[in-house]
Structure 1
Amino acid sequence: MSTDRSASLSVSLSVSEEEARAEASALDAADPLRAHRDAFVGSESSLVYFDGNSLGRPLRATAEHAAAFVRDDWGGRLIRGWDEQWMDAPFTVGDDIGRIVLGAAPGQTIVGDSTTVLLYKLLRAAFDSVHAAAPARVEIVVDRDNFPTDRFLVEGIAAERGAVVRWIDVDLDGGVTADALTAAVGPRTAVVLLSHIAYRSGYMADAAALTAIVHEAGALMVWDLCHSIGAVPIEADAWGFDLAVGCTYKYLNGGPGSPAFAYVAERLQGALAQPIQGWMGAADVFAMGPSYEPASGMRRFLSGTPPITAMVGMRDMLALIESVGMDAVRAKSIALTEFAVRLADAWLAPLGVLVASPRDAGSRGGHVTLSHPAMREVTARLWDDDVIPDYRDPGGLRIGLSPLSTSFAEVADGLAKVAQALRALG
């Protein structure tokens, strides 16, 4: 924790709830992003929402735009909508994601399937390409604390392709370091799959440094950006990314099950054959020909009909993020998580709670995990009391703080309720 940051958010270890709420009120008053909180549905309620890292609050504008889409775009234009705009939507929204939150030039990002499906496509395509060029490269590298989907996909693809899984053991309160990755990659490595921000601890990997390590080993790198996109600045092109996938229902507020996005560096697009061949990825979508020929560019990574309706919400959030800038979003995120960590030290540490996230803001994403054996029961009590965090084994209460919709007052109120719930459980 930096001295300057500690001074600007001066919460002592003996702070009372009244003092913390007063400081939270002052911080909210000084917050340059405070006016945007009112743009979200439910922001006026007393509910404390600590789960924006799982599902973001909807924007009020999205309710209006969704109704207009049903009435005008879908209801009014009907099938004509495909010719007029929908066929291009995966690419136009993808380029918006690239420009606003991903640091990617146009023509490298699409919106399409779920996170799981897109990860499968890119991971298998990457393995097949590298292994075909260098048959000795048979290993897929992944860490044991990566999100279950990522680990399950690696195991499944390894079984399909005769590959070998190379596991990296990590500290559950941290994540994959440069030393750990260097020790895991080598002449047998085909592809590496890592999460930019660890879903459990909130640890933020040095994506540029780790990508360089993988490239030096002669392999391809696939990044899972689900817990970082829209929460921290990313420079996919500048950091030398090969491939990446991220969801849009967390910090991009696309809504439950909104489609994921895929990034493929332009230099790789022609060399990768994605494994789910569907009509939308064909060179001539409407040829309805007897055999499949992949399209050029990012279209080849599409499979089925794009989820047009589900893109409405993310368009609204992307516009809001663009208006304030990712640097401002990140600054607010750091301020919120540091405030949460220091209140946890003041109120929860005496009750046996450990902060299971990096204390250095430069190594921490947008959420903080608090560890205690009773956190499963605490989470259930909090939900009944309109405080909504989530729980992750072993004993982890995740505090997900969305910079544009979360207030400092919300943080203080919610952590006070966590302390109350722990005391009530004895």
Structure 2
Amino acid sequence: MSSHAAALDAADPLAAHRDRFVGAASPLVYLDGNSLGRPLAVTGPRLAAFVEQAWGGRLIRGWDEEWLDLPARIGDEIGRVCLGAAPGQTLVADSTTVLLYKAVRAAVALRPGRTEIVVSADDFPTDRYVAQAIAEERGLVVRRLEVDVEAGVTPEQLREAVGERTAVVLLSHVAYRSAWLADAAALTAIAHDAGALVVWDLSHSGGSVELALNAWDVDLAVGCTYKYLNGGPGAPAYVYAAARLHEELTQPISGWIGHADPFAMGPQFTPAPGIRRMASGTPPILGMLAMQDMLALLDEVGLAAVRAKSVALTSFTIERAEELLAPHGVRLASPRDPARRGGHVTLQHPAMREVVAALWADEERPTIPDYRDPGGLRLGLSPLSTSFGEVEEGLRRTADVLARLA
């Protein structure tokens, strides 16, 4: 480890929290926290206690005693701790894909007569696929904004694209490939000026970037919980809907949990009041357990401190990559300005696919980054579980592989 990395770790006010994560002290250099966050050590006992006590002890009584309230209760915690959202506007429910489908379909229905859904051509595939499927169902057109793959949608670009035909704008707050951090407040205002609604994908920002959904006047948003919220593989996603939309909001998957009176078992569907109308089927209780531990830690530390550490980590990554990797032809493929950069860094080189495969396969010096076309080494730096020394070691190992492949 360089003296610079050691000094940064020694001065890091959040460094002590790293020991709370499973495997943080192991030899593994883990630089993929924006795909799947490490579990907290307290999560294992929580899961075991749930099996023995709540599930095994209370059995079906658990639904009335607690479980039916969990989606809204945990949703409110996500809203308060991570989203800048008042209570009653966030719900934990299905997968990110399903919730995106529900949110975009609901938004389209609120703008009858309008014919276009605007998306970024470089957005995460799920977002583009969902938009296209809804367009085909509803007889609409998808308008794709061609963007720089190392950046993202700008206010000027969106202002030119939206108009009286625009029903919904679907955008990512942090671009999955480049980490471009969108100006959500400005982009939302531009869409509203055109009479459109906005659905934000928060998957790469929730839990790592400070958000203010209420202050930005956001309409709807969806995010996952297995990245920076450390909910575990396949943990359910969350949906946000502004309170001003609730009474007219109609989502397309009418299920019994989204009914105003789920246990009436009546012949007709009556949507529940408030955010619960975005629910459909039985809540995924097991999938909600782990994220509660990370939410508690984020609440303890505060998103401002997490964001400050994230900026420091990504800035250090760029600085050291230019010293260690640029001599091998590697270049930065993420925004240099931290105000426009989320929590990961992408470094580009034609051989990066082979580099990542070699790093994953090295049993003596195990290193896990991510790969994204074209030629992108994506380093996901989870602020509470990633150290500066870990980043330094990962970059040195990457330089060694590039030298061997040259």
TM-score (norm 1): 0.94
Structure 1 position 43 matched with structure 2 position 30: no
In structure 1, what is the equivalent of residue 390 of structure 2?
A: 410
Structure 1 position 423 matched with structure 2 position 400: no
Structure 1 position 397 matched with structure 2 position 377: yes
In structure 1, what is the equivalent of residue 307 of structure 2?
A: 330
> 138, 143, 168: which one pairs with 2:145?
168
Matches within 5 A, 1:111-130: 111-130=92-111
Measure, in 1, the Cα distance between the counterparts of 2:125 and 2:142: 15
Once the two structures are superposed, residues 64-99 of structure 1 have per-residue CA deviations (whole angstroms, 9 ceiling, x without a partner) of 101111111111111010000001000000000000
> 75, 90, 103: which one pairs with 2:56?
75
Measure, in 2, the Cα distance between the counterparts of 1:183 and 1:55: 36
Measure, in 1, the Cα distance between the counterparts of 2:275 and 2:240: 9
Three-state SS of the structure 1 residue aligned to 2:168 is strand
> 339, 348, 356: which one pairs with 1:379?
356
Structure 1 position 268 matched with structure 2 position 245: yes
Measured after TM superposition, the shift of residue 272 of structure 1 is 1.3
Measure, in 2, the Cα distance between the counterparts of 1:91 and 1:154: 26
Task: Specify the code of the residue in structure 2 equivalent to 1:89.
Answer: L
TM-score (norm 2): 0.99
Measured after TM superposition, the shift of residue 45 of structure 1 is 0.4
Structure 1 position 226 matched with structure 2 position 206: no
Matches within 5 A, 1:12-411: 21-131=2-112, 135=113, 137-385=114-362, 386-411=366-391
Task: Specify the code of the residue in structure 2 equivalent to 1:49.
Answer: Y
Measure, in 1, the Cα distance between the counterparts of 2:215 and 2:12: 30
Measured after TM superposition, the shift of residue 161 of structure 1 is 0.2
Measured after TM superposition, the shift of residue 337 of structure 1 is 0.4
Measure, in 1, the Cα distance between the counterparts of 2:85 and 2:203: 16
Measure, in 1, the Cα distance between the counterparts of 2:204 and 2:163: 28
Three-state SS of the structure 2 residue aligned to 1:270 is helix
Measure, in 2, the Cα distance between the counterparts of 1:71 and 1:261: 27
Once the two structures are superposed, residues 205-233 of structure 1 have per-residue CA deviations (whole angstroms, 9 ceiling, x without a partner) of 00001000000000000000000000110
Three-state SS of the structure 2 residue aligned to 1:230 is coil
The gaps in structure 2 that reach 5 residues or longer are: none
Measure, in 2, the Cα distance between the counterparts of 1:38 and 1:405: 8
Measure, in 2, the Cα distance between the counterparts of 1:43 and 1:290: 53
Measure, in 2, the Cα distance between the counterparts of 1:318 and 1:352: 40
Three-state SS of the structure 2 residue aligned to 1:370 is strand
Measured after TM superposition, the shift of residue 253 of structure 1 is 0.1
Three-state SS of the structure 1 residue aligned to 2:263 is coil
Measure, in 1, the Cα distance between the counterparts of 2:50 and 2:186: 43
Deviates more, 1:288-297 or 1:91-100: 288-297
Measured after TM superposition, the shift of residue 22 of structure 1 is 1.6
Measured after TM superposition, the shift of residue 266 of structure 1 is 0.1
Measured after TM superposition, the shift of residue 108 of structure 1 is 0.2
Three-state SS of the structure 2 residue aligned to 1:292 is coil
Measured after TM superposition, the shift of residue 263 of structure 1 is 0.1
Measured after TM superposition, the shift of residue 293 of structure 1 is 1.0
Task: Specify the code of the residue in structure 2 equivalent to 1:401.
Answer: L
Measured after TM superposition, the shift of residue 249 of structure 1 is 0.1
Aligned length: 403
Measured after TM superposition, the shift of residue 411 of structure 1 is 0.5
Three-state SS of the structure 1 residue aligned to 2:149 is coil
Measured after TM superposition, the shift of residue 25 of structure 1 is 1.1
Three-state SS of the structure 2 residue aligned to 1:175 is coil
Three-state SS of the structure 2 residue aligned to 1:338 is helix
Identity of aligned residues (%): 65
Measured after TM superposition, the shift of residue 332 of structure 1 is 0.3
Measure, in 2, the Cα distance between the counterparts of 1:110 and 1:272: 14
Measure, in 1, the Cα distance between the counterparts of 2:303 and 2:213: 14
Once the two structures are superposed, residues 250-298 of structure 1 have per-residue CA deviations (whole angstroms, 9 ceiling, x without a partner) of 0000000000000000000111110000000001100011111111111
